[in-house]
Every structure is written in C-alpha cells, then in structure tokens.
Chains A and B, each alone.
Chain A
Amino acid sequence: MASRIEILNDGGYRSDGRRQYELRDITIDLSQQGQADGSAIITHGLTQVLVSVFGPREAKQRRETIHDRANINVEVAVAAFSTGERRKRSRGDKRILEIAAIIKSTFEPVIQTSIYPRSQIDIFVQVLQQDGGLLQACINGTTLALANAGIPLLDFVCAVTGGVHSTSPMLDLTTLEENDIPHATVAMMPRTGKVTLVTMETRLHVDRFEEIFRLAIDAGKVIHREMKIAVKGRTEALVTAMGSASKVASGGDNDELMQDY
C-alpha cells in the first residue's frame, strides 16, 4: 500500500525518528489512584492507559460467582478525547468489548484465581491517549495494576506489537504505522518465554509472520525489565516509607531469577 509518509527511510529511520527495533519511551506510574486496590498508568510513547484493580471482593451479582475460583470482570472505556478526532465510543462497541474479552482470557490463567473462590476481581481500563499499540498498553498496564494490588500472579504478562514494512520487521508501532503495515500483538510470559496471546488482523505471509513473532517475544523481555524496575522501585519506596529500608536493599539483590534479564 502506498502512503504519503515514508514508514522507513533509506537511512533506516522511522517517521518518528526511531530505529526499526527501537521501542518508544515507557513511563510507569504506580502511585495510588483514588479508591482502587491497585492501579497503574503506563505510557508507551503517546499511548497512555490507566488501569485500576479492585478486589478480590464479593461479586455484585451473586449469579456471577464461580464456586471454585474468582471471577474476573474487565471493563474497558475509551476516552472521547483519546484520538486525534474527538469521537465518543459507546460501551457496546464490539471493538472495545473484544479488548475486554481478550484481557479477561489473557489473565485468567495467570492470576491464581483458585485461592479466592466465590469472589470477583474487577479490572477497569481507561484509555487516555491512543497512538498505536492499544492492546499492548492495556495488557502491560493490567499486569502492573494487578501486581500493585498484591494479587498473586504466576508471572508477568508483557505485550509488544510488531509489524513488517515490506521485508523489514519493526517493533512498537504508532497509529500511523499500524494503518499502513501488517502487524501483530504478542503477549509473552518472561519466565517460560511462552506466549499467552497472539493476534494478527492483517494479511501477511507465513514466513514473515514467524520473523516478527519471534522478534516480539524477545522484545517482551525488554518490556519486562522496565516493568520489573518500576514494581521494585514502588515496593522499595513503600518499604522506605514504613522505615525498614535496609532490609529490602539486601533482600532485593538476592533475587537471582529476577535479575536474569
């Protein structure tokens, strides 16, 4: 597909000045937000998502309880001002419901739901700004908010978007790039390197897919490092506030498995 803006110029730079495999800036804010039990604001370049987690708590509707595990309820809302063109999306929009369904099924096997039978964990995702990689930001934000809320997770879930411009793969696409080139979102678990989520919606040859698929799995580990630093930083700040900083400083370094990446 021809486009007015060059996706990748001869010098190997993308429209926003990044290299092929370069990720956008990630900022993570894990401070307390309102009444939530855990929350996170994650920013990938110009995409920003706020995730609040409530629970485990009693389900609002009794029929939603499951006798042997916790029910996960995900609601996604997209702010009308999040895109360049102001646009109000209704709650019944199929695309938004799909994102909510994806988040729910991605985190169901990761959260240890079986230790909270007959309860509910609510995950509210508010999209503040959109510039590509929406699903990736939602998933990363949910991981952080769950970790912040102290809900037991088997592993982090780290998501990255990858695309191919003719034959050159690239990572972490902006809206501009997403509209023009085939792309896939991959969510992986850093401990085992396995993927919990893969979605691709645009036509792409099988061999090309394999290339970006493997690349995105590697990039997930980089995201994991960023997320880990943020969670550790937040925990240390909390512990310092409680006045026992010395204990954690020594304890944190012994964490061999976490230091691998």
Chain B
Amino acid sequence: MRPPSPSLPEREFLLQALHQSLRLDGRAMLEARTPTLTFGPEMGWVDCQMGKTRVLAHTTATMVKPQPERPLEGTITIHSEISPMASSAGEYDSGRPSDEEITITRMLDKVVRRSDAVDKESLCILAGERVWALRLTIHCLADSGNLLDCACLAAIVSLRHFRRPDVEVIGSDVTVHAPTERAPVPLSIHHTPFCNTFAFFPPSPSSIAAQDSQDPLSSPLQIPILDPSHLEQRLCTGTLSIALNAQREICVLQKLGGVPLGAEEVLLAVEVAVRRAKEMNEWVDGRLREDWEGRKGSVEVR
C-alpha cells in the first residue's frame, strides 16, 4: 500500500504558514533541530536523535589481509539499514529498496568513504599483510523527517568516537595491546563532513504576481527551509543536500531533480551550509571531548 499522502488542509496550511515565515514546530526557516548525541559504553557506539528522528551507528574494527591491489590501505565498509519500523506508514519495506533508501545509502557512501574522511593508509599495520577493516553499521530507527542528515551525523561521529586497540610491530610480529594495557588510539580523520538538507517550497501567489510584472522570464525565488520535518519533506517541491566540512570544502552536493533553482539560490544554500558546518564542528568536538573526559577513569591506564 502506498503511504497515504498528507491531506489538502495540511498542505494548504503548511504553505500558508511558510509564506508568513512560520514553521509548525516553532523553528525559524533556516534553523535546524538541535541533535542529541548519546554515546554507548563501547567506543564508536552513537545514538543520534534529531527531534523524533533517530539513528544508531556503531563502528568496529577487525584485522584482515589487505586487498592485493591496495596493500597499504585499510578498508571501510558501511552497512546501512532502514528498518521498516522507522516509519508507521510503511514507506520502508523490507523488499525492494525505495528511492529514498537508495539516496541515503549512496549519500553515506559518498560522505564517509569517497570524501576520504578517514585516512585509510593509517589503518595499515604491516604492508601487504595486516590492515584494519572498519565496519560501520547504521540502523535508522525512526524517521520523522531528514533521516539523511541524522544518519550522516551519526556515521561521522561514530568514526570520530571510535578507538582501535593499539598495536606494536616488531619485524613481522604484530602485538595487539588490550585496552587495559595501553590506551586505544583514535582513528586518523582528515576532516569531518556535515550534511545539511534544504527543502524548497513554492513562493506565495502574491509574490509571483509582483515578480511577473517586472520580468516575465524570471520566476520568483523558492522558499528554502533547513532540516525539513516529515510533513515538510512530504510536501516540498525539491530538496538539496550539501555535505561540507569546517574547512569550507564541499564533499557532496546533490540536488536530484525536483523544482528548478536559480544559481543564486543554490549558492545561497551553500553559504548557509558553510556556516552551519562550522557550528556543528565545534559542537561535535565539544561533545566528544566531554565524553572522553568522563571515560578517563575507566579506559586509560597509562
């Protein structure tokens, strides 16, 4: 059964509110929900919540023989799963993946793997013999809008939070030290990309009329909002996702179809995302530091 679409009054009211720059949950137009990060007892276990959207990410590492064509690099595999329980409307069936599921899986792959967030060469223990294989598992538990950003945040924070056991190489002997013996080491991370999704809504009829009289060819600007809720995501005319890091580097930018946008509109969204990535970077750093301080007594020995 196709998930029931939102009713006409819901659609009309949402648009009417947006034209007055009001959102249903009281946020400003370009304001995102504040995420909540909960760290588990294990390193690399992160529960990320944005409103009612909730994603769990877990990183583990095992020692394997490297791929013959890349003897100096470790590997990262991402397993993502959107559980059918994430949505009550039956949007995520366990059978054929939906378009949204494909987008999320591919986006995670691009944000975490293809942007070279993790230094793969640092995962090498003994060239051609032993490397670390990282396995990042992502469970999307509840979808109340913007599952993508939440999953990306959980994934990257999980990698930042994870610590692998320290190893010592003498000749060709590899010794793995238990965490009680030597403090585990964090992964070497090049940069931390943050994903921001914008949803676009058509402008109000009055502004269309005002624009038409000036220049018949240019259509008025779409209304952008950051971090759409479930209803907003269902009703919007298009979305734009930008993943970038605090160094102002875009890692992934994707606007897959949807309403056509002017170049200025896209660049404006990039501008907002740049600012937000900076804020998020500081916030995540702070949270990780806080968590690490709290663990000092139990993990670190020397």
Per the 8 Å Cβ criterion, residues 251-302 of B in contact with A are: 251-263, 266-267, 270, 274
Are B260 and A214 in contact (CB-based, < 8 A)? no
Are A197 and B263 in contact (CB-based, < 8 A)? no
Q: Is B219 an interface position by the 8 A CB rule? A: yes
What is the CA–CA distance of A201 and B218 in the complex, to the nearest angstrom? 30
Q: Is B173 an interface position by the 8 A CB rule? A: no
Per the 8 Å Cβ criterion, residues 82-139 of A in contact with B are: 94-95, 97-98, 101-109
Are A192 and B97 in contact (CB-based, < 8 A)? no
**Closest Cβ–Cβ distance, residue B275 to chain A (whole Å):** 11
For residue A184, which residue of chain B has the nearest CB?
B253
Stretch at the interface among A10-18, A202-210, A230-238, A239-247: A202-210
**Closest Cβ–Cβ distance, residue A7 to chain B (whole Å):** 19
Contacts of B254 in A (CB 8 A): 198-200
> Within the complex, which residue of A101, A194, A210 is in contact with B256, where a contact is CB–CB below 8 Å?
A101
**Closest Cβ–Cβ distance, residue A33 to chain B (whole Å):** 25
Q: Is B94 an interface position by the 8 A CB rule? A: no
Are B249 and A94 in contact (CB-based, < 8 A)? no
Q: Is A63 an interface position by the 8 A CB rule? A: yes
Q: Is B105 an interface position by the 8 A CB rule? A: yes
Interface range for B: 35 or more
Contacts of A107 in B (CB 8 A): 257
What is the CA–CA distance of A260 and B254 in the complex, to the nearest angstrom? 30
For residue A108, which residue of chain B has the nearest CB?
B257
Q: Is B250 an interface position by the 8 A CB rule? A: yes
**Which of B2, B217, B255 has most A Cβ within 10 Å?**
B255
Are B218 and A98 in contact (CB-based, < 8 A)? no
Q: Is B110 an interface position by the 8 A CB rule? A: yes
Asked if A195 meets B255 with Cβ closer than 8 Å, knowing A98-B102, A205-B248, A206-B248, the reply is yes
Q: Is A217 an interface position by the 8 A CB rule? A: yes
> Within the complex, which residue of B116, B238, B253 is in contact with A199, where a contact is CB–CB below 8 Å?
B253
Are B256 and A197 in contact (CB-based, < 8 A)? yes
**Closest Cβ–Cβ distance, residue B82 to chain A (whole Å):** 13
Q: Is B79 an interface position by the 8 A CB rule? A: no
Are A206 and B250 in contact (CB-based, < 8 A)? yes
Asked if A203 meets B251 with Cβ closer than 8 Å, knowing A105-B258, A192-B218, A194-B260, the reply is yes
Q: Is B237 an interface position by the 8 A CB rule? A: yes
Are B258 and A196 in contact (CB-based, < 8 A)? yes
What is the CA–CA distance of A217 and B263 in the complex, to the nearest angstrom? 8
Per the 8 Å Cβ criterion, residues 193-248 of B in contact with A are: 217-219, 237-238, 240, 244, 248
Q: Is A8 an interface position by the 8 A CB rule? A: no
Contacts of B102 in A (CB 8 A): 94, 97-98, 101
Are B260 and A206 in contact (CB-based, < 8 A)? no
Asked if A203 meets B116 with Cβ closer than 8 Å, knowing A102-B257, A194-B261, A197-B255, the reply is yes
**Closest Cβ–Cβ distance, residue A24 to chain B (whole Å):** 24
What is the CA–CA distance of A37 and B248 in the complex, to the nearest angstrom? 47
Scoring A residues 175 to 190 as 1 if CB is less than 8 Å from chain B, else 0, what string do you get?
0000000001000010
**Closest Cβ–Cβ distance, residue A78 to chain B (whole Å):** 16
For residue B191, which residue of chain A has the nearest CB?
A203
Contacts of A213 in B (CB 8 A): 263, 266-267
Contacts of B240 in A (CB 8 A): 198
What is the CA–CA distance of A97 and B114 in the complex, to the nearest angstrom? 18
In the assembled complex, 13 residue pairs joining A and B whose CB atoms fall closer than 8 Å, in A order, are A101-B256, A105-B256, A106-B256, A192-B260, A196-B255, A196-B258, A196-B259, A196-B260, A201-B114, A203-B251, A205-B248, A205-B250, A213-B263
Top 9 A-B residue pairs of the complex, sorted by shortest distance between their CB atoms = A105-B257, A194-B260, A106-B257, A200-B253, A101-B99, A199-B254, A196-B260, A198-B255, A206-B248
Starting from the known contacts A101-B103, A199-B254, A200-B250, 8 additional A-B residue pairs (CB-CB under 8 Å) come to A104-B257, A108-B258, A191-B217, A195-B255, A198-B253, A206-B244, A209-B253, A213-B266
